[in-house]
């Protein structure tokens, strides 16, 4: 069996495209792709790279399977299991793609260049330069929204990147170990073991569920002294959590949280954050408002997305974006309004759909189809030009007829390829883990919707996420992590 696995692994490895020297072809357009998230990577996966000089710029040299990131905060899943090196993705393309690990700091629309900066710890002689483009795809995502609330950036943890999950994991164990420090006062123990999550969207809900699981399955068995004081609270400004799910699933989530002993504080808007407590404005049942101070040990801030500075700067260069606030306004082909050679995908683009991984993935795949078609159209148009020259030089009727037939065939092909319609999102459904081996799902089925919650939905959630993992390697690693945690518990070392 080991031999067979070895042969299979070698064949997969051998299938990869050998790295060649990247030589831009002056006869082809340069397509620059910013970002290595859901939108950009799904574009790169399906793009016929031989049609363009493709350059990818991203500060992250890997794709991150974000739906499972909350599981990394408790060590249920190791972060490397949900990362896929971008160079591995690019190696499998037919034509070589250039990758720069750098942050795009400015897009100069007039000059058609992207300014990039190497933000790694080790700097070479050159750490700032520019990359020219003929076509540009912006898939840089969004940053964490803080709404300018005082103290958020300094004192809370976010949940967007691998480093965020690692910080949270460290912080949880720090709080627990510090609470166990000799002679700690009871109030301080209570504060340190109070885990507060702000934002009742799917990110906040999934994290709260995972954290309570960690406590129930492992922490309270390993460190029983924390049993009476460890507590998770979810704070949400609106009257309920998970607003994108149906009423029935919202109720199910709220009742499951009650069973799990997670407190939900709705109609509670955080106004200020200090290193030890948050200040929130609470709307009381009679409609009056009061201010409350809530002490915390760990604070996770999950209040959604805000526009990145590089995107805001591009918007300021384009008069057509003057009325757009939440990101780049795009047309139905995802072309950034006010430009003709820039496209935007994922959380940095404003469409009629919620900023989810599913939407970004479909947008990336749509652009790949569009660009492949554009290249095909260009090639057919060139052939038509040559054929019409041939036709005018043809000496015999027979030659003229043959060329005429070929022209007709090419024209038919051209009409077929040009038939690509605008981007249309097909919603497969929404899924969220809510803890205690339960999940909620709103699945689109035929022309209706199926809402379900519970343990079966959780098994569906697990199999759906496993099948959505980027590669077989990721799939195996995630499955092994789940088995490991079931057999030995999560690793509680910091």
Which two structure tokens, joined as six digits, stand for 465? 């996420």
Helix residue ranges per DSSP H, 309-356: 309-317
Which two structure tokens, joined as six digits, stand for 285? 């049942």
Nearest distance from C-beta of residue 59 to ligand NAD, angstroms: 20
Triad 254, 257, 258: Cα angle to 5°: 90
The piece of 309-317, 351-359, 369-377, 473-481 that touches ligand NAD (CB under 6 A) is 351-359
- Judged by CB under 6 A, the chain residues 288 through 307 that form the site for ligand NAD are 302-305
Q: Is the separation of the CB atoms in 303 and 205 below 8 Å?
A: no
- Judged by CB under 6 A, the chain residues 385 through 444 that form the site for ligand NAD are 430-432
**CA-to-CA distance for 479 and 466, rounded, in angstroms?**
8
Long-range contacts of range 180-187, CB-CB < 8 Å, 24 or more positions apart? 180/223, 180/225, 180/226
- Residues in contact with ligand NAD, counted by CB under 6 A, come to a total of 27
The piece of 111-119, 193-201, 287-295, 446-454 that touches ligand NAD (CB under 6 A) is 193-201
Would you count residue 235 as binding ligand NAD (CB under 6 A)? yes
Q: Which is nearer to ligand NAD, 107 or 299 (CB)?
A: 299
Would you count residue 355 as binding ligand NAD (CB under 6 A)? yes
Would you count residue 354 as binding ligand NAD (CB under 6 A)? yes
Q: Which is nearer to ligand NAD, 90 or 302 (CB)?
A: 302
Would you count residue 199 as binding ligand NAD (CB under 6 A)? yes
Q: Which is nearer to ligand NAD, 7 or 459 (CB)?
A: 459
The piece of 34-42, 282-290, 349-357, 481-489 that touches ligand NAD (CB under 6 A) is 349-357
> Maximum Cα–Cα distance for the chain, whole Å?
104
Sign of the torsion angle spanned by Cα atoms 19, 23, 26, 27: negative
Would you count residue 269 as binding ligand NAD (CB under 6 A)? yes
Q: Which is nearer to ligand NAD, 238 or 320 (CB)?
A: 238
User: How does strand 231-235 pair with strand 194-198?
Assistant: parallel
The piece of 42-50, 99-107, 196-204, 329-337 that touches ligand NAD (CB under 6 A) is 196-204
- Judged by CB under 6 A, the chain residues 114 through 173 that form the site for ligand NAD are 149
Would you count residue 335 as binding ligand NAD (CB under 6 A)? no
Nearest distance from C-beta of residue 244 to ligand NAD, angstroms: 5
Q: Which is nearer to ligand NAD, 39 or 204 (CB)?
A: 204
Nearest distance from C-beta of residue 229 to ligand NAD, angstroms: 24
Q: List, in sequence order, every residue forming a beta bridge with 283; answer none if it has no partner.
A: 289
Q: Which is nearer to ligand NAD, 331 or 428 (CB)?
A: 428
Which two structure tokens, joined as six digits, stand for 224? 């029983």
Other CB atoms within a 10 A radius of the CB of residue 247 amount to 9
Nearest distance from C-beta of residue 349 to ligand NAD, angstroms: 13
Triad 486, 75, 37: Cα angle to 5°: 120
Phi, psi of 83 (to 5 degrees): -110, 140
Q: Which is nearer to ligand NAD, 51 or 303 (CB)?
A: 303
- The single residue among 244, 450, 459, 476 that binds ligand NAD, judged by CB under 6 A, is 244
Q: Which is nearer to ligand NAD, 129 or 428 (CB)?
A: 428
Would you count residue 203 as binding ligand NAD (CB under 6 A)? yes
Which two structure tokens, joined as six digits, stand for 83? 């990362």
Q: Which is nearer to ligand NAD, 8 or 238 (CB)?
A: 238
Count Cα atoms within 13 angstroms, Cβ side, for 227.
7
**CA-to-CA distance for 47 and 484, rounded, in angstroms?**
37
Q: Which is nearer to ligand NAD, 139 or 355 (CB)?
A: 355
**CA-to-CA distance for 421 and 469, rounded, in angstroms?**
29
Count Cα atoms within 13 angstroms, Cβ side, for 160.
20
Nearest of 258, 307, 303, 253 to residue 441 by alpha carbon: 253
Which two structure tokens, joined as six digits, stand for 221? 């068995």
- The single residue among 162, 237, 282, 335 that binds ligand NAD, judged by CB under 6 A, is 237
Would you count residue 361 as binding ligand NAD (CB under 6 A)? no
The piece of 117-125, 189-197, 235-243, 374-382 that touches ligand NAD (CB under 6 A) is 235-243
Place of tokens 């510090």: 178
Q: Is the separation of the CB atoms in 198 and 247 below 8 Å?
A: no
- Cβ-closest position to ligand NAD: 201
Nearest distance from C-beta of residue 35 to ligand NAD, angstroms: 16
413-416-420-426 Cα dihedral, nearest 10 degrees:
-130
For ligand NAD, the binding residues (CB under 6 A) are 67, 149, 198-204, 235-238, 243-244, 269-270, 302-305, 354-356, 430-432
């Amino acid at each position: 069996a080991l031999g067979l696995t070895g042969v299979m692994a070698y064949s997969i490895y051998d299938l990869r495209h050998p790295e060649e020297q990247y030589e831009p072809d002056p006869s082809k357009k340069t397509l620059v792709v910013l970002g290595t998230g859901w939108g950009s990577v799904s574009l790169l996966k399906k793009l016929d790279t031989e049609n363009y000089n493709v350059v990818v710029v991203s500060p992250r040299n890997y794709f991150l399977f974000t739906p499972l990131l909350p599981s990394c905060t408790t060590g249920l899943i190791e972060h490397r299991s949900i990362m896929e090196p971008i160079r591995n993705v690019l190696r499998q393309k037919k034509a070589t793609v250039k990758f720069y690990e750098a942050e795009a700091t400015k897009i100069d629309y007039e000059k058609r260049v992207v300014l990039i900066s190497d933000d790694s710890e080790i700097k070479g002689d050159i750490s700032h330069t520019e990359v020219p483009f003929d076509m540009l795809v912006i898939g840089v995502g969004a940053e964490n929204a803080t709404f300018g609330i005082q103290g958020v950036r300094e004192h809370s943890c976010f949940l967007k990147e691998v480093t965020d999950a690692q910080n949270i994991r460290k912080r949880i164990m720090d709080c627990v170990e510090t609470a166990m420090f000799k002679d700690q006062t009871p109030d301080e123990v209570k504060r340190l073991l109070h885990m507060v999550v702000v934002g009742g969207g799917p990110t906040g809900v999934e994290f709260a569920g995972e954290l309570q699981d960690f406590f129930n399955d492992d922490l309270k068995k390993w460190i029983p002294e924390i049993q009476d004081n460890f507590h998770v609270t979810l704070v949400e400004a609106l009257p309920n959590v998970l607003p994108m799910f149906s009423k029935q699933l919202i109720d199910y989530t709220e009742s499951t949280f009650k069973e799990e002993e997670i407190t939900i504080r709705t109609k509670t808007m955080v106004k200020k954050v200090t290193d030890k407590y948050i200040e929130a404005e609470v709307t009381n049942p009679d409609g009056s408002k009061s201010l409350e101070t809530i002490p915390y040990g760990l604070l996770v801030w999950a209040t959604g997305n805000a526009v990145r500075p590089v995107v805001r700067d591009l918007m300021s260069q384009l008069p057509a974006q003057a009325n757009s606030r939440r990101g780049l306004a795009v047309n139905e082909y995802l072309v950034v309004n006010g430009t003709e050679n820039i496209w935007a995908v994922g959380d940095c683009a404003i469409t009629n759909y919620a900023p989810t991984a599913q939407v970004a993935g479909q947008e990336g795949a749509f652009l790949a189809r569009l660009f492949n078609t554009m290249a095909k159209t260009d090639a057919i148009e060139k052939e038509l030009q040559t054929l019409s020259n041939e036709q005018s030089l043809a000496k015999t009727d027979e030659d003229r007829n043959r060329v005429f037939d070929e022209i007709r065939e090419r024209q038919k092909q051209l009409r077929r390829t040009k038939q690509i319609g605008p981007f249309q999102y097909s919603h497969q459904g929404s899924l969220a883990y809510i803890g205690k081996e339960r999940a909620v799902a709103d699945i689109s089925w035929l022309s209706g919707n199926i809402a379900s919650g519970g343990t079966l939905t959780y098994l569906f959630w697990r199999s759906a996420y496993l099948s959505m993992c980027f590669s077989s390697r990721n799939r195996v690693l995630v499955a092994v992590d789940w088995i490991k945690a079931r057999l030995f518990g999560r690793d509680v070392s910091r």
